[in-house]
Amino acid sequence: MSTTRKLRLGPLPKTESIKLTFACPAGLKADLDRYATLHAQTYGEAVDATVLIPHMLEAFMAGDRGFRRGMGEDHRPSSRAAT
């Protein structure tokens, strides 16, 4: 594991998944592939960009104050939101 680079997205936990399909611009796919390469170099485990996307979305939503406020106080964030 490399200590010279710190990515916002840390090592990935093992989780149960539901498959979703979406389309994105070619430039975004290229950026996701580059991020996956950097993630693999940083954490020493090869990972496909499609595996990173749910974790990126979860981190994005956890950091969106407007979304969190809109969820109400009785809704708890997912287990990954705090990491």
pLDDT recorded at residue 72:
72
Look up the pTM and report it. Answer: 0.64
pLDDT digits (tens, 9 = 90+) for 33-78: 999 999 999 999 999 999 999 999 999 999 999 988 887 755 555 5
Distance between CA 32 and CA 15 in Å, rounded? 20
Q: Phi and psi dihedrals of 12, rounded to 5?
A: -90, 135
pLDDT at residue 83, as a whole number: 45
Tell me what pLDDT residue 73 has. 56
Taking the mean position of all CA atoms in its chain, how far away is CA 57?
A: 5
What residue segments make up the domains of the chain, in order of their start?
Answer: 26-71
* Rounded Cα distance, 30 and 37, in Å: 11
Cα–Cα distances in angstroms (integers) from residue 54 to residues 2, 4, 6, 19, 50, in the given order: 23, 25, 19, 10, 8
pLDDT at 13 over 70: yes
- Residue 79's pLDDT band, with cuts at 50, 70 and 90, is low
